[in-house]
Amino acid sequence: MTKKIAAKAPKAAPRPADFLLDVHTEPLPARFVASALEQMKNGAAQWLSGKIDCGEVSVSGTLRHLVLTIKAVSPKGRDAFERVKGPKEQAWRTPEGAFTPAAEGFARKHGLSAAELRPEGGVLYAEIHRRGEPAASLLEAMIPELLKSLQFPKFMTWEASGFRFGRPIRALTAVLGDKVVAVELAGVRSGRLVFGHPVLAKAPMSLREVAKHSALLRQGLVIADPAERKAYLLKALELVAKPAGGKAEADEDLIDETTFMVEHPVPVLGKLRDAHLNLPAALLKMVMKKQLKFFPVVGRDGGLLPFFVGVRDGLSSGNALVREGYQRVLEARFNDAAFFVGRDAASSLESKLPLLERVTYQKALGSMAQKAARVEELAAWIGSRLRQTAPVDEQVVARASRLVYADLVTDVVKEFPELQGHMGGVYARKDGLDERVALAVEHFYYPVAAKTPIPATAEGAVTSLAGKLDSLAGCFAAGLIPTGSADPYALRRQALGAIRIILEKQLPLDLEESIAHALALQPVAIADAPKLAAQLADFVWGRAQSLFEEMEYAVDEVRSVRVGALKDFPNAFRRLAALRAVRRDPSFEPLAAAFKRASNILRQSKGEDGGALDRALLRDPAELDLYDALVSAEGAANDRI
């Protein structure tokens, strides 16, 4: 009986596999992490491009983990063909027809024999066909290059090879499919171990499958995905503040920073001492946010409640002890703030003005005292121009504009520059000044961003406008004109702020005239003042154009109101709105087409008959009626323009 032998099944072709790299470091500063992750993502995608086929490249991470994931990496890289130019004809053959040493050396360099070189146009070429390398080999080459390419605000070196990184690398997890990608960098060999929280996690865990990495980290009390960690943090902040009857004031910058300060966020609710609640609320919030990364708790009206939230890393056990520590540290910081306020309040804002002589605004533009004098004069000039059309108390403007920079020499503003203006208003009230003066000083830097409020009062608007126009005129006069994305004096923001103030307060102020006056006050010799004024006017209009386009006005609509816009911005905006409204009328497009056709005819006939139209020469009643209608329409149109 013949025994049947089963045929061997064909070996399955290798399939694409996912790759993961987890760079486990000493704690990185929070501000380092997002940039490093973005660089990893872009750098890996660029390095692999053209070398091997793969799917999505993504990143996640914490202050201790920089994680790169590449989906569906092909088993091997792409085959490559390269054509390299070699020696010229006279150098590659001897008179007897043999290959020269130069030709043979060129061939050897590229792994070929001289006979395999290809002559073309009197030149030898090496045609090199390279088979795609295994994926693991390519990744082994990529990892060191990728990590060496990452840029950090500051670097550290910690071992003999001199490798530089944001913080020391303690472990490398590098897995393709279920296989380790073997590399050694900075004295660390790659493996498959995954390290959780350094204090709370148990032993390192072994990664057998790339898809399980984030679950293993979570098991070790690490939420790897920044978006998931941020959402977890926001929800936890909401829950912990509820018993206090408010919510954690979560501004975006602090949320983002906290997201990269912890791996498993646990909020802790603390209480403020009543003794500190008499300090300005903005100062208390700034101390909490800037110095300690705490979140103030506010009520529905935005007012500060006597609570705060600190965020710890890990578990909620021992929160009572942590709360005590947070409150003790915060109390010390508030005591410092109270000392600063007390020392500042010992003298009036007026008495601080001579100290501005010691503060340089800009070398060519003098001291802050000189800038303050210019702003005071410019504010008075603007007030006089608005005297007949806008209800502005010029005495309030004069008093406020004199004091707007006085808080720059206070201890609180030196410690917290973000409170400039606000503390000026606080100290003005302490000095017993009119509330309108205090409010104008407090709102001097408004609006501080594109969507934030403008000054609340007309006097505050005029004072703030004077400060912005002086800054614009001074920097343009000194040649400090923004180029590209560089804008160290925030002139784009100040120009936009000036436009918003004029528009939202409906101030009929001639900005072209105001710019010329502001330039005339500068302590810098200007070679061609009209030319510079026109340049600055164009700069301001550029910000206005951006604002209108953000409001979804079409580019051609915005450009159509450019003429005369700076002489009366509110009027220009009304024209723009009217144009938008009439453009929606179905009859607008045919009317515009007819107007354009007539304009083209007139342009082509220009010079053939340049004489003015004389009504006395008209005879036909229809001609006379048309002439009168045109004159009437022209007058009505000019009144509206």
Token pair 């007897």: residue: 96
**pLDDT at residue 10, as a whole number:** 61
Radius of gyration of the chain (CA): 36
159 CB contacts (<8 Å, ≥6 apart)? 168, 186, 187
pTM equals 0.81
Nearest CA among 189, 210, 169, 216 for reference residue 21: 210
d(Cα 372, Cα 365) in Å, to the nearest integer?
11
Neighbours of 13 (CB within 10 A): 6
Q: Looking at residue 401, what is its pLDDT? A: 97
Helix ranges restricted to H, 22-178: 30-48, 89-92, 101-109, 135-149
Q: Is the peptide bond before 417 cis (omega within 30 degrees of 0)?
A: no
Q: Tell me how crowded residue 78 is: count the other CB atoms within 10 A of its CB.
A: 14
Nearest to 111 by CA among 93, 97, 98, 130: 130
Amino acid at site 635: G
**What average pLDDT does the segment 562-568 reach?**
91
Q: What is the pLDDT of residues 101-116, one digit of tens each?
A: 887 888 788 778 877 7
Q: Which amino acid is it at 559?
A: R
Give me the mean pLDDT over the 43-59 stretch.
Answer: 95
Is the pLDDT score of 46 beyond 70?
Answer: yes
Q: What is the tens place of the pLDDT at every residue in 402-453?
A: 999 999 999 999 999 999 999 999 999 999 999 999 999 999 999 998 889 9
Contact in structure between 534 and 476 (CB atoms under 8 Å): no
Q: How confident is the model at residue 623 (pLDDT cuts 50, 70, 90)?
A: confident
Determine the Cα–Cα distance for residues 377 and 401; give it in Å rounded to an integer.
9
DSSP 56: -
Name the 3-class secondary structure at 53.
coil
More confident site: 552 or 485 = 552
Report residue 94 as tokens.
């001897």
Residues 228, 259 contacting (CB under 8 angstroms): no
pLDDT digits (tens, 9 = 90+) for 185-214: 999 999 999 999 998 888 999 999 999 999
Is the predicted pLDDT of residue 319 greater than 70, yes or no? Answer: yes
Please state the domain extents for the chain. 17-77+134-219, 80-130, 226-345, 351-570, 585-600+615-641
Q: What is the mean pLDDT of residues 45-64?
A: 95
Output the pLDDT for position 50: 86
Decide: 426 and 280 in contact? Cβ < 8 Å: yes
Q: What is the pLDDT of residue 624?
A: 83
Express as a percent the part of the chain with pLDDT over 90: 74
Q: pLDDT tens digits, residue range 223-279?
A: 999 999 999 999 999 999 999 999 999 899 999 999 999 999 999 999 999 999 999
SS3 619: coil
Least confident of 52-56, 78-82, 505-509: 78-82
pLDDT at 314 over 70: yes
How far does Cα 72 stand from its chain's mean position?
A: 33
**Which range in 3-17, 72-86, 157-171 is most confidently predicted, on average pLDDT?**
157-171
Reduced to 3 states (helix: H, G, I; strand: E, B; else coil), residue 51 is coil
Residue 338 has pLDDT above 60, yes or no: yes
Task: Write out the two tokens for 641.
Answer: 């323009």
Q: What is the mean pLDDT of the chain?
A: 91
Tens-digit pLDDT profile for residues 357-414: 999 999 999 999 999 999 999 999 999 999 888 789 999 999 999 999 999 999 999 9
Q: In degrees rounded to 5, what are phi and psi of residue 129?
A: -110, 120
DSSP 521-551: TSSS--S-HHHHHHHHHHHHHHHHHHHHHHT
Confidence of residue 542 (pLDDT cuts 50, 70, 90): very high
- Between 477 and 107, the higher pLDDT residue: 477
Predicted confidence (pLDDT) per residue in 270-313, tens digit: 999 999 999 999 999 999 999 999 999 999 999 999 999 999 99
Band of residue 179 on the pLDDT scale cut at 50, 70, 90: very high
At residue 115, the 3 state secondary structure works out as: helix
Q: Which residues pair with 22 in a beta bridge?
A: 67, 173
What SS3 class is residue 476? Answer: helix
Please tell me the distance from the alpha carbon of residue 635 to that of residue 170, in angstroms, as a whole number: 80
Phi, psi of 21, deg, nearest 5: -125, 125
Contact indicator for 68, 57 with CB cutoff of 8 Å: yes
Instruction: State residue 132 phi and psi, 5-degree precision.
Output: -60, 135
State pLDDT tens for residues 572-612. 999 999 888 888 878 777 877 877 787 777 777 665 555 67
pLDDT band at 8 (very low <50, low <70, confident <90, very high): low
